[in-house]
Structure 1
Amino acid sequence: MSIYANKDLLTIPEGKFFDRKSARYDMNKLANILIAFANADGGTVALGISNKKYEGINILSDKKKNDILQIGNQRVVPMLDINVERKKIINIQKQVDEVWLLTVSPSDEKLYANKKDEVYLRIGDETHKVTFVERKDLEFDKGIRAFEKQTVDEAIISDLDEEIVSKYKKLYGFSGENLWDLLFPKGLAKRYVNHDEKASYKLTVAGVLILSKYPTAFIPSARIRFIRYEGRAAQTGTDMNIVKQEMIEGPLVKMLERIADILEAQLRSFSSLDSQTGKFLSVPEYPKGAWLEGIVNAVTHRNYNYTGDDIRVLMFDDRLEIHSPGGLPAVVTKENIRETHYSRNPYIARALTDFGWVREFGEGVDRIYTDMNKFFLDDPIYKVDNNSVNLILRNNIIMRSFRKNNALEARIGKDWGKLNFIEKTAISIVYEKGTIKTSELMEAVDGYSINSARNALKHLKKIGIFERIATAPTSPKQYYKLVK
């Protein structure tokens, strides 16, 4: 049964998993939507709804209805399996009628196209026609994507977490005795049929990660490590500065609950500048919507095939780093990450969406940017390579010290919005170390020249924030500190 079967189809938001269309909707366009769902995370089209009113399916002729039932093999290449669920409704004519729920599963090794060889992808609530370059990226990513659907032969039903399984049953209103009937259609189990047509089942990687009591027994890297450091850098040996460290394991939902509790307990309140009023406000170190979204994204979209790496949440005095194994999924880049969605693990993404952890389009990565801006914090930073995605959230550690000096607060408060990144960094370093040299600033802001560092310090001196200490105009030992 589809999760939408027991919901009000007129009020469900259209998004990456759901769309509503009239029974008279163009057949080729309908095929393109189903193709887009299949190439993305799977999804459902509710057919028989017009302008958020039930028109029903009975306005169609029998031939037209049959054409809809055959759309997967007549208008899609290769043939697309479409599950059709009939939901009884009362149409706008006050007659008993039906809405058809056309549901497709996400593809792994296949890339679906229409008869014109056009490929579509569901991005948010839109059906996006894929470019040639995007198509190549999607084809490359299919092998990685197939991992979550592989079976875990050693895992058995008794390995599942009873509490999570019970919640999952309630999500779908499932009351049957054979649990495989729920897990198989959702990609959490795989079915094998022998020569006598008797079915046997095995849990998939997605099924183990979502429902198993101890996923790391089968997928060793399926964990989250939390490390809290004292200071701005990780130290080793006798200088090791780890304050708190915890390894988190279990089904994904429980891991998310645990890391959220741990991190929330570690967060502080900072004084942050309101750029509109010039006054300082007390705010949490990071907005919860931003850091939680970052962790959920890591859990949802990481490459679980990377067995030698795990998700890491690293907390420093000045920033929070969330490390996710594996590069960005196909068609997603640093430039389009705010508006483009593509799941490397669509079955995991769907399950976490149903559990309420993954948000619909428009609230994901874009929410991280929005929430950070609302808290007067810098934009998130994404550092990406082929092996990992690293999200960096910076706090306002500078602002804590402003409360100690009213004169300095008023002066910097007036000029803060006019300062550039390198100047703000210089103030941050001085608050921690007391002084700063030009060479130290250049090292702290990767990619900037010595002249940029020198000009930043000169400007801070000019506006009365820094004073220069030197025995001679060109002294190599000169440094800057805050004015008294």
Structure 2
Amino acid sequence: MNTPRYEKKDLLSIPEGKTFDRKSASYDLNKLANILIAFANADGGTVALGIKDKKYEGVNLLSSQKKNDILQLGSQRVVPTLEIEKNVKHILNNQGLPDEVWLLTVKPTDNKLYMNKKDEVYLRIGDETHHTTFEERKNLEFDKGIRAFESQAIDEAILDDLDEETVDKYKEMYGFDGDNLWDLLFPKGLAKRIRDKNDQIYYRLTVAGVLLLSKYPTAFIPGARIRFIRYEGKEAKTGSDMNIVKQIRIEGPLDKMLQQSSDILESQLRTFSSLDTKSGKFVDVPEYPKGAWLEGIVNAVVHRGYNYTGDDIRVLMFDDRLEIHSPGSLPAVVTTENIRRTHYSRNPYIARALTDFGWVREFGEGVDRIYKDMNEFFLDNPIYEVDANSVNLVLKNNIIMRSFRKNDDLESKIGKDWQQLNFIEHTAIGLAYEHGSVRTRELYEGINGYSMSSARNALNHLTKMGIFERVASAPTSPNQYYKLIK
């Protein structure tokens, strides 16, 4: 089992949370079992036993019988039997005497749901051990089947398929300098140990291992990619009206995919100058806060249902919004109502690895950060559109950026003639761009202070220039309108 990364850290200063807790050596054993159950049903975790009031008390104050009871927690107080790894950190207790803190660690589970002897199911949410409701328990049981997918072995994948640069980075991350790579991958859930009928042991990469480390994950898991698509306008069109202006397919190990996605999106986003009322200086303001859109992409990679092999993650850019599409519905106990405060990893091994790679900066707090970053930029709250097969995150920009992006697109569309047009003509083109067409009265109402004849003259001039096409059933038709010529 995986040796806890907490073993070499200052256990008194680590914040308690999704995967770590501190307890006194004399803590109630039933409650201790419930914490370990909660960890196992979520992302795995470690209890540091022998710490009271953030001081080392050690475990030597316990009798031999009590110590043995602790070691039997997984078999005596958990159903089904839960494997608990015990590691020891040697310390000086608060009396100045040599002592031990026990690090009790459990792995995340896939196809099992653990409970105590009272048939109660617990789940770790933030730093709390949550007693699940009947409905939450049903959702957990359903999601375990999806979660099991990342732990499945892929027989066709071999070590030669791995991306050497990413593997070196992964080794360095964990300080691994051994010769047998399986010794690193197996404890991290990226490989499976298999015993054949002749009692011989061999290893196979898991889905998580392939996604994180393979050069070409899509060779084994179709759909394990990110697609970036930028559209002209506010909607996706097809056929002869197709309005895709850029499309990029991003593939490779997850760490590299995330970096490439970040670079691509950053290159496509606009900034504008805004007066900072506090400093009195003009500052560059991005179209969307990076923390929000990057968290959205990271969350999609971490929590998507990789068993949905016919679908991929899509980042769609429109004039007025970004959409991040993730295959698979919200995991287990997460709903659109509690998404800011409730976290459950559908792919805990991937989640842990990407946390250590540095993409998940504060484990389990990404969605709340999206809300906060959008609010700090005075943008609308993110919108989560959820159905049985997907989650769609929508981030809207503001009216200033929409205007900038629209004007950029129009200038590109019209060409050098754009600079020669007046305000009324710019407005007419903008209205036709926004709504598909423009009528004389609509333009008149949009140019407050100008006359109807000014609107009519502008539309006639744009038609003569070949920018507009006049559509009418008769020369004096009251229903005539103008539209942009492609």
State the TM-score bracket (shorter-chain normalisation).
0.7 to 0.9
The 1:244/1:436 distance shift into structure 2, 3 A limit, reads: closer
The one of 221, 225, 230 aligned to 2:232 = 230
Shift of 1:349: 1.0
Distance in 1 between the 2:451 and 2:189 partners? 66
Deviation per residue, 1:447-480 (Å, 9 max, x gap): xxxxxxxxxx9xxx9xx9979999xxxxx9799x
Answering whether residue 302 of structure 2 is matched by residue 300 of structure 1, we say yes
Give 1:296's aligned amino acid: V
The 1:323/1:343 distance shift into structure 2, 3 A limit, reads: same
SS at 1:171 equivalent: helix
The 8 Å contact of residues 319 and 402 in structure 2, kept in 1 or not, is answered as: no
The 1:469/1:281 distance shift into structure 2, 3 A limit, reads: farther
SS at 2:83 equivalent: coil
| 2:475 paired residue number | none
1:342-421 superposed matches below 5 A: 342-361=344-363, 363-398=365-400
The 8 Å contact of residues 188 and 207 in structure 1, kept in 2 or not, is answered as: yes
The 1:89/1:269 distance shift into structure 2, 3 A limit, reads: same
| 1:177 paired residue number | 179
| 1:450 paired residue number | none
The one of 96, 100, 111 aligned to 1:94 = 96
Answering whether residue 159 of structure 2 is matched by residue 157 of structure 1, we say yes
The 1:466/1:392 distance shift into structure 2, 3 A limit, reads: farther
The one of 422, 425, 431 aligned to 1:433 = 431
Distance in 1 between the 2:301 and 2:396 partners? 21
Comparing 114-123 with 182-191, greater Cα deviation is found at 182-191
Distance in 1 between the 2:29 and 2:329 partners? 37
Shift of 1:435: 9.9
| 1:206 paired residue number | 208
SS at 1:348 equivalent: helix
SS at 1:201 equivalent: strand
Distance in 2 between the 1:157 and 1:325 partners? 28
The 1:240/1:401 distance shift into structure 2, 3 A limit, reads: closer
The 8 Å contact of residues 86 and 98 in structure 1, kept in 2 or not, is answered as: yes
The 8 Å contact of residues 271 and 400 in structure 1, kept in 2 or not, is answered as: no
Distance in 1 between the 2:159 and 2:47 partners? 32
Distance in 2 between the 1:431 and 1:8 partners? 64
Give 2:178's aligned amino acid: G
SS at 1:4 equivalent: helix
| 1:285 paired residue number | 287
Shift of 1:89: 2.2
The one of 265, 268, 271 aligned to 1:266 = 268
Comparing 6-15 with 366-375, greater Cα deviation is found at 6-15
The 1:5/1:170 distance shift into structure 2, 3 A limit, reads: farther
SS at 2:375 equivalent: helix
| 1:332 paired residue number | 334
Distance in 2 between the 1:123 and 1:468 partners? 60
Shift of 1:170: 2.7
| 1:77 paired residue number | 79
Distance in 2 between the 1:20 and 1:386 partners? 38
| 2:129 paired residue number | 127
The 1:362/1:104 distance shift into structure 2, 3 A limit, reads: closer
The 8 Å contact of residues 314 and 324 in structure 2, kept in 1 or not, is answered as: yes
Comparing 292-301 with 100-109, greater Cα deviation is found at 100-109
Bigger radius of gyration, 1 or 2? 2
Give 1:306's aligned amino acid: Y
Distance in 2 between the 1:262 and 1:71 partners? 50
Deviation per residue, 1:361-409 (Å, 9 max, x gap): 563101101000000100101111011100010111446759xxxxxxx
Distance in 1 between the 2:316 and 2:23 partners? 45
Distance in 2 between the 1:468 and 1:399 partners? 26
| 1:240 paired residue number | 242
The 1:272/1:138 distance shift into structure 2, 3 A limit, reads: farther
Comparing 159-168 with 313-322, greater Cα deviation is found at 159-168
Question: Unpaired runs of 5+ in structure 2?
Answer: 405-426, 453-477, 482-486
Distance in 1 between the 2:97 and 2:276 partners? 58
Equivalent pairs: percent with the same residue?
75
The 8 Å contact of residues 214 and 252 in structure 2, kept in 1 or not, is answered as: yes
The 1:400/1:157 distance shift into structure 2, 3 A limit, reads: closer
The 8 Å contact of residues 272 and 376 in structure 1, kept in 2 or not, is answered as: no
The 1:34/1:255 distance shift into structure 2, 3 A limit, reads: same
Shift of 1:317: 1.3
The 8 Å contact of residues 270 and 400 in structure 1, kept in 2 or not, is answered as: no
The 1:123/1:359 distance shift into structure 2, 3 A limit, reads: farther
Deviation per residue, 1:63-107 (Å, 9 max, x gap): 111111110011101110111111222322233222211111111
Give 2:350's aligned amino acid: I
Distance in 1 between the 2:479 and 2:272 partners? 34
The 1:111/1:168 distance shift into structure 2, 3 A limit, reads: same
The 1:400/1:126 distance shift into structure 2, 3 A limit, reads: same
SS at 1:227 equivalent: strand
Give 1:213's aligned amino acid: K
| 2:190 paired residue number | 188
Deviation per residue, 1:179-217 (Å, 9 max, x gap): 212211221111112455432111110111111111111
Distance in 2 between the 1:123 and 1:12 partners? 17
TM-score, with length taken from structure 1: 0.81
Distance in 1 between the 2:395 and 2:282 partners? 20
The 8 Å contact of residues 39 and 120 in structure 1, kept in 2 or not, is answered as: yes
SS at 1:337 equivalent: coil
| 1:62 paired residue number | 64
Question: Unpaired runs of 5+ in structure 1?
Answer: 403-428, 441-456, 471-475, 480-484
Shift of 1:431: 9.9
The 1:336/1:401 distance shift into structure 2, 3 A limit, reads: same
Answering whether residue 55 of structure 2 is matched by residue 53 of structure 1, we say yes
Distance in 1 between the 2:109 and 2:304 partners? 18
Distance in 2 between the 1:117 and 1:276 partners? 58
The 8 Å contact of residues 271 and 399 in structure 1, kept in 2 or not, is answered as: no
The 1:55/1:171 distance shift into structure 2, 3 A limit, reads: farther
Distance in 1 between the 2:367 and 2:275 partners? 24
Distance in 1 between the 2:273 and 2:128 partners? 41
1:16-55 superposed matches below 5 A: 16-55=18-57
The 8 Å contact of residues 28 and 75 in structure 1, kept in 2 or not, is answered as: yes
The 8 Å contact of residues 275 and 376 in structure 1, kept in 2 or not, is answered as: no
| 1:109 paired residue number | 111
SS at 1:141 equivalent: helix
SS at 1:243 equivalent: strand
Distance in 2 between the 1:29 and 1:309 partners? 42
